[in-house]
């Protein structure tokens, strides 16, 4: 059996970081549609029998009816592909959800909050869907497969081996427990990073949603015969979120930094986060600098620089500047200090030294 497995499409995501940059948020949503169309075309051209969508197909809070109609129209274009959707925490099967209210194409099966089994020739497809924005127990522990001679597939949204309280709220399951069930393939969703190291597969988000999702994004294409699973990751997202590390140690002014950033060559298929590093010789206000950046593809600036001054040496000076730095260093060394307080004190030292120079 040939299949395609995707998850975490997040149609109509607000793309908060991009929305402040003109039309980039809208362009990213159009790119999502382009990626999804590729999946449908691939399924059509390669006679894919099954399409597994493991949750978070759309964002319940933001999705428009027109987007649902668009998705369903594409489903209707592949009538010979059976589509199985396992609703997740962002698109749960609630009373007022489109999964419940909308008239989906005949080739679409949407799993609800009871583990269901769908029988096909030689295949049993099991699935479960969130019915709320959280799920602490889907009942998988009690499930026993009815026929191990058939190909058994599980389509589900959730966390594997969740340790934290937050992870356990999103249908946490153990690898060991799932391994004992003897599924031939487990189509997972929720984790936005690709993991196909075993037959329990996270395809990652189909199109990257931000700077915490660097690298390639796409779909899993598989071919399963009993006892033999062949998997391939196929990239689909033509745009990429990237980080550029920039050392500011040799720069002497804000103006030099702005010029250096504006001289970067950036593709119109990239979204850029600049990480400033090294020892800074001037105060850096990342929000102010962003106002002067010409290329709208530069979305974020992160300041990981350190003060260039030898603070210990200055603190030993018998001057007003030395007394000021000594007192501020004592504040920095307090064990209960928070990261935000540390940042404020470091900025105060920088401004104070310049004022007392």
Split at pLDDT 50, 70, 90, the class of 342 is confident
Distance between start and end Cα atoms, the chain: 74
β-pairing verdict for 218-225 and 228-235? antiparallel
Distance CA 161, CA 260 (A): 45
Distance CA 352, CA 356 (A): 6
Split at pLDDT 50, 70, 90, the class of 19 is low
In the three-class reduction of DSSP (H, G, I as helix; E, B as strand; rest coil), residue 188 is classed as strand
In the three-class reduction of DSSP (H, G, I as helix; E, B as strand; rest coil), residue 230 is classed as strand
For 228-262, the pLDDT digits (tens) are: 999 999 999 999 999 999 999 999 999 999 999 99
**Mean pLDDT across 141-167:** 93
Local structure of residue 311 (DSSP, 8 states):
H
CATH code for 2-235? Answer: 3.60.21.10
Map out the domains of the chain as residue ranges: 2-235, 240-356
| pTM score of the predicted model | 0.85
Say if residue 357's pLDDT is above 70.
Answer: no
**Mean pLDDT across 203-217:** 94
Looking at the chain, the whole-number percentage of residues with pLDDT higher than 70 is: 99
For 285-329, the pLDDT digits (tens) are: 898 999 999 999 999 999 999 877 788 888 899 899 899 989 989
Distance CA 151, CA 83 (A): 17
Token output for 78: 């592949």
Local structure of residue 277 (DSSP, 8 states):
E
Give the number of other Cβ atoms within 10 Å of residue 108's Cβ: 19
């Amino acid at each position: 059996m040939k299949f395609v497995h995707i998850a975490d499409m997040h149609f109509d995501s607000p793309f908060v970081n991009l929305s402040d940059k003109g039309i980039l948020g809208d362009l990213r949503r159009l790119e999502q549609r382009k990626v999804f169309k590729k999946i449908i075309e691939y399924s059509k051209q390669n006679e894919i029998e099954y399409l597994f969508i493991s949750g978070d197909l759309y964002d319940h809070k933001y999705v428009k009816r027109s987007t649902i109609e668009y998705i369903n129209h594409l489903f209707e274009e592949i009538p010979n592909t059976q589509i199985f959707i396992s609703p997740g925490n962002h698109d749960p099967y609630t009373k007022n959800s489109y999964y419940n209210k909308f008239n989906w194409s005949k080739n679409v099966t949407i799993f609800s909050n009871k583990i269901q089994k769908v029988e096909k020739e030689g295949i049993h497809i099991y699935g479960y869907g969130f019915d709320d924005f959280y799920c602490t127990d889907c009942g998988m522990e009690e499930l026993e497969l009815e026929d191990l001679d058939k190909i058994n597939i599980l389509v589900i949204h959730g966390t594997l081996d969740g340790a934290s309280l937050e992870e356990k709220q999103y249908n946490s399951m153990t690898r060991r427990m799932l391994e004992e069930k003897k599924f031939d393939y487990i189509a997972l969703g929720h984790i936005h990073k690709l993991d196909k190291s075993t037959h329990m597969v996270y395809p990652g988000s189909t199109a990257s949603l931000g700077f915490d999702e660097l690298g390639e994004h796409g779909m899993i294409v598989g071919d399963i015969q009993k006892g033999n699973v062949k998997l391939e990751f196929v990239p689909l997202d033509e745009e990429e979120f990237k980080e550029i590390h920039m050392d500011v140690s040799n720069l002497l002014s804000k103006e030099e930094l702005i010029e250096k950033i504006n001289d970067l060559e950036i593709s119109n298929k990239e979204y850029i986060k600049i990480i400033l590093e090294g020892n800074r010789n001037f105060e850096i206000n990342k929000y102010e600098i962003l106002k002067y950046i010409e290329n709208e593809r530069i979305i974020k600036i992160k300041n990981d620089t350190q003060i260039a001054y030898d603070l210990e040496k200055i603190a030993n000076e018998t001057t007003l500047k030395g007394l000021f730095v000594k007192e501020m260093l004592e504040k920095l060394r307090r064990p209960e200090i928070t990261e935000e307080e540390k940042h404020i004190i470091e900025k105060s030292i920088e401004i104070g030294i310049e004022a007392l120079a």
